[in-house]
Structure 1
Amino acid sequence: MQPRPVPVFDGHNDTLLKLELGAGTPRERSFFERSSREHIDLPRAREGGFAGGLFAMYVPSRACDDTATPYRPDDPANYAEVAHGPALDFTLKLAARALRLARDSDGQVAICRDATEIRAAIASDVLAMVLHIEGAEAIDAELTSLEVLHSAGLRSLGPVWSRSNIFGHGVPMTCPASPDTGPGLTEAGCDLVRACNRLGIMIDLSHITEKGFWDVAGLSDRPLVASHSNAHAICPSSRNLTDRQLDAVAESGGLVGLNFHVAFLRPDGAHRSDTPLELMVRHVDHLLERLGEDGVALGSDFDGCMVPGAIGDAAGLPKLIDAFRKAGYGEDLIEKIAWRNWVSVLERTWA
């Protein structure tokens, strides 16, 4: 009998989006059946130890049912601003899909709203799903929808994706480039940060400009978190964090989740699936040096990126764990990176 894999609580995936876009098309698939497409379904999650994570509700700039045109990071149409009304409608579809997955799972999936529920789910081999908004176009300036979505289970929010909205500005996905690419938070964005602090919703700093990062750092009384970003010192993508930003995260008691996307790992920013696992370890080594053992976690970006071929999908997570072991990481540190650090920072944020 194979030993149970180390549980992984992951900081970011786009599985809800892929399931929604595939519905009613030849790409439709069931979350409860093993597939060779995308990265996450329940069978592959169980095989790889994927115990849950932050499930993103992201609204694409293109028409919400447009799956015919492949995503290209150099296509400006993918970064066009999104109106609040359509964004809220689509976000509600994604939230409803998550709620239906939990309802139809026969107890195998749970929407978790606090750290106690996450720990209980992991201990009982139930997939722990935390609802996260990536790009807050679904939130109105009066923050009415924020209150309603929080009541429905929203516990994490990134004010921006890599585009502008009423709350702030996002970084492009450019390499080499600085994350200091434009303005920071608007007044509405400052109000959003304060409201999230009040409600206990985690603010995610992945995708925001460097000025926006420092705006949040000056306003927020909670740990600074970037759910799926890497070290700019190794891969100079605008999506990654500088050492100065990492030091601020460490000072706040916050966390950075390692993004598996090859273009955010590689020093050349190339989209190549032959990116070695050793490069992922190199990023984690750098993050550990700046953040300490309690500030590093995983933020795969499964179902939203190109992951190293050696991992492939959620079933391949044990290969990354083995790479950590080969690099000399002890089992206690591996468990912190794999899941304990995420639960700790969420518990401190939601308190």
Structure 2
Amino acid sequence: MSKPVTAFDGHNDALLRMYLDTSGDPIASFINGGGRGHLDLPKARAGHLAGGFFAVFVPPAEKFDFSPMGNATYDMPLPPELELDYARTVTLGQVSVLLRLEAASNGQIVVCRTAGEIRAATARGALAALLHIEGVEAIDKDLHMLDVLYAAGLRSLGPVWSRNNIFAHGVPFRFPGSPDVGPGLTDAGRRLVAACNRLGVVVDLSHMNEQGFWDVAKLSTAPLVATHSNVHALTETPRNLTARQLDAIRDSDGVVGLNFSVSFLRPDGRNNPDTGFDIMLAHLDAMIERVGETRVALGSDFDGAMIPREIGDASGLPKLFDAMRAHGYGDELVERIAYGNWLSLLERTIG
């Protein structure tokens, strides 16, 4: 029997789920288990998940309908830009959830600010949480809030979540579709990238349109990172990366994390949980061929997407690793994809 594989994940939306949960005590539920989400502490331990990027995401102020993603084709209008005050309230609320989660866990959950802290948490069996923001509408053009969030533990951010903001332009929810839509970074976005490089904050290119990707590639001194994106040649959604984008990640010695969202995995783009490991492995094969074995990792999108039924939740991660082995991946490669490649990237970015 193979030894358990330790994992570190590039993206989850558990903080938003807990922030929106008014049914009881979501923090206690995360620590003790029993909830409906993809991720909590018992599920993480069952799946040997040592930690990951815990995303803060501000949902649209009005309900956004994702149901068209079940159709053969779709082109969904994006919600409007957010008001700064609303975005700040929701962002700080979710950061507070993470800090309260750490405080209530008696050392079982740790907000980590360096790769060394993540390795130390893993060594003692604690869940390592790296604070990430997906769409930085809470940050002002003068970047004052960036300094505040950095002090609270922020070490990774995606300038956009698809909808446009004062920093950049995102990709639409469209199938089939190209990421080559609209302009890229604004002047404020260029200042944001420079500040992230100075502070040691990862700039996540998932959700950003192609021109914005190339603007970051030109400006940034750090490795290029897409925390939860797949291969456009296999699934023609704007959320996935073209061959040229993957080549740029390779050339910068960056990382791309495999997104478990079925609509970004399946060739037909449908939101269908009956999506087999063969489809996930096809994306992994294509990523490895394009960027190399040291630059592919996991970016599950737990609690933020429909994931394959065969995985189910974080406790199902070992099934994916078994499928990788059965597909011919050696133990060293599986361990790199599961954990080592993210830690190497973080050592070279956040320190």
Which residue of the partner structure matches residue 53 of structure 1? 52
Pairing of 1:202-281 with structure 2 (within 5 A):
202-281=202-281
**Structure 1 pair 137–331 and aligned structure 2 pair: CA distance change class (3 A):** same
Which residue of the partner structure matches residue 99 of structure 1? 99
CA contact (8 A) 1:206 1:239 kept: yes
Provide, for residues 58-89 of structure 1, a one-character-per-residue CA deviation record: whole Å limited to 9, x for no partner.
000135xx7xx865466968622111111111
CA distance in 2, matches of 1:23, 1:188: 36
CA distance in 2, matches of 1:4, 1:32: 25
Which residue of the partner structure matches residue 295 of structure 2? 295
* Paired AA for residue 23 in structure 1: T
Superposed displacement of residue 30, structure 1: 1.2
Gaps in structure 2 of 5+ consecutive residues = 70-74
Q: Which runs of 4+ in 1 moved over 4 A?
A: 24-29, 73-78
**Structure 1 pair 297–178 and aligned structure 2 pair: CA distance change class (3 A):** same
Superposed displacement of residue 174, structure 1: 1.4
SS in 1 for 2:257: strand
Identity %: 56
CA distance in 1, matches of 2:210, 2:78: 21
CA distance in 1, matches of 2:22, 2:246: 39
CA contact (8 A) 2:77 2:172 kept: no
CA RMSD of aligned residues (A): 1.9
Which residue of the partner structure matches residue 72 of structure 2? none
Provide, for residues 178-205 of structure 1, a one-character-per-residue CA deviation record: whole Å limited to 9, x for no partner.
1111110000000000000001000000
SS in 2 for 1:160: coil
CA distance in 2, matches of 1:343, 1:73: 37
Superposed displacement of residue 36, structure 1: 5.0
Q: Number of residue pairs matched?
A: 346
Q: In terms of mean alpha carbon deviation, does 145-154 or 20-29 score higher?
A: 20-29
CA contact (8 A) 1:235 1:264 kept: yes
**Structure 1 pair 284–101 and aligned structure 2 pair: CA distance change class (3 A):** same
TM-score, structure 1 as length reference: 0.95
SS in 2 for 1:197: helix
TM-score, structure 2 as length reference: 0.95
Superposed displacement of residue 23, structure 1: 2.7
Which residue of the partner structure matches residue 11 of structure 2? 12
Gaps in structure 1 of 5+ consecutive residues = none
SS in 2 for 1:308: coil
SS in 2 for 1:79: coil
CA distance in 1, matches of 2:107, 2:43: 17
CA contact (8 A) 1:173 1:237 kept: yes
* Paired AA for residue 94 in structure 1: Q
Which residue of the partner structure matches residue 311 of structure 2? 311
Which residue of the partner structure matches residue 41 of structure 1? 40
Tell me if 1:108 matches 2:94: no
Which residue of the partner structure matches residue 155 of structure 2? 155
CA contact (8 A) 2:167 2:189 kept: yes
